[in-house]
Amino acid sequence: MCSPEHFAVEYAINPWMDVTTPVDRDLAVKQWDRLRETLVGLGHEVHLLTPEHGLPDMVYAANGAFTVDGSVYGARFKHEQRAAEAAAHHAFYESQGWRFVAPSETNEGEGDFAYVPEAHGGLILAGHGFRTEIPAHAEAQEALGRPVVSLRLIDPRFYHLDVALAAIDDANVVYFPGAFSAASQRVLTQLFPDAVIADDEDAMAFGLNLVSDGANVVLNSEATRLAGKLKAAGYTPVPVELAELKKGGGSVKCCIAELRH
């Protein structure tokens, strides 16, 4: 995770960003701290990346890389405003001794990649349409040695896979069908017949931008309907308020890069 101490909405690179809407940075830090404390309280270890001046979106740490079984496929951001973030993530993984594969293709890390380790022997789900380019899917497959399933995103509000879909345990996912092309919806139905299906209201509340340890699902507190669906499916929803960070187009998952050793 990376503190939002330099967070601001100084440019607009997704439909949620509005440079005329003021950001309360102190509140953003307070809400982010609560998210970090929630993860620690659930028994997880949190590593911190040092925020850098001039990189207001560094708080969205999920976009900096994608890890599977101790290997890291690095990010290469689409927009120049975020490009320098990739080096900070690279340095972190190298300092931790991870095997790092530098990308040649445009991709935004866990923003557009999700890993479901026990689904069909271990699947990487990969989004494209707005940020990550399709050639990056093949590059990720070569880097990580896991089959990659490409999913086409069609609604600019759901510009990253992680605002439309999330793994909720080692074999299942939750997703919003309307974010995907008709063909990708059919693929998801085939792969995950027991998936939890979110509706438009859940998605617009950033409910899909969640993290789960297989039992506890940490999600945006505004996504009350989705919390109910997850509870009915046997999970424990853990709501967290992140209204300030939503102004940049991200929520719980965007703030968390999961380290899969």
Q: Which of 47, 160, 255, 261 is catalytic?
A: 160
Nearest Cα neighbor of 124 from 101, 143, 104 is 143
Give whole-number Cα distances, 217 to 73, 156, 189, 207, 210, in Å. 25, 25, 22, 10, 7
Across the strands, what pairs with 166?
Answer: 174
Catalytic-residue membership of 89: no
Q: Which residue is it, tokens 């789960």?
A: 212
Q: Which of 90, 128, 137, 254 is catalytic?
A: 254
Beta strands in 17-109 (DSSP E): 65-68, 71-74, 99-101
Catalytic-residue membership of 47: no
d(CA 188, CA 173): 9
Beta strands in 39-122 (DSSP E): 65-68, 71-74, 99-101, 113-116
The catalytic residue positions are 160, 254
